[in-house]
Amino acid sequence: MNYSEIRMEFEKLGAFILPAKYLDDHDALYLICDSKDEPYVGSSHRLTGNLAQHLGGNVSNYKRKQIIDPNSDVLFIPLVPHPPKIDFEGNRVREGPYPETLREESRMIKYFQPSLNRRSR
Confidence (pLDDT) at 70: 38
pLDDT tens, position by position, 91-116: 554 443 333 333 333 322 333 333 33
Report residue 14's pLDDT band, with 50, 70 and 90 as the boundaries: low
Between CA 95 and CA 49 the distance in angstroms is 32
More confidently predicted of 117 and 74 = 74
Angle at 90 (CA atoms; ends 86, 96), nearest 5 degrees:
35
**If we measure between CA atoms, which residue out of 24, 59, 107 comes closest to residue 47?**
59
pLDDT beyond 50 at 20: no
| Phi, then psi, of 10 in degrees rounded to 5 | -65, -40
Tell me what percent of the residues of the chain surpass a pLDDT of 70.
0
What's the mean pLDDT in 11-24?
50
Give the integer Cα–Cα distance in Å for 35 and 78: 20
